[in-house]
Amino acid sequence: MEILQKALLCAIKDTLNVSMIEDKIPLKRAFVSKIRLDSRTFYIATNKALLLKFALDFLNEENPSNDTLIDISKEMANIAIGKAKVLYEESGIVLKLGIPEFIGNKIINNYNKCIGYKSQNMRCSIYEI
């Protein structure tokens, strides 16, 4: 999970120029995309404010549709998983990676581990399921 955390933070920093800090309170209701690393499943949860920043910076959309926010949620997970793959390979670990799947704007209750991050009103969390 540590490499995936680093990958997500790097992806946000590299794409949005936003530095996130650890948040003690996990993001509960969020746009959630699921990714698989070998036999492990992770959820990347992002709040609407973070997705809106992405929409404005990359799509020049101030009021994106819900479908656009869903696409951005999947794309952020895809960017993070791509970065994680590079980081794992640099450490000599080869993993089978899944394709990000949007699972909804939902509340996450059942999980093994979680770590959250924030910057101003933008928040995200990674859950190991």
pLDDT tens digits, 3-59 = 889 999 999 999 999 999 999 888 888 999 999 888 889 999 999 999 999 999 989
Cα dihedral across residues 71, 72, 77, 83: positive or negative: positive
pLDDT of 31 reads: 95
Q: Is 61 helix (H, G, I), strand (E, B) or coil?
A: coil
Domains in the chain, ordered, with CATH?
2-128 (3.40.1550.10)
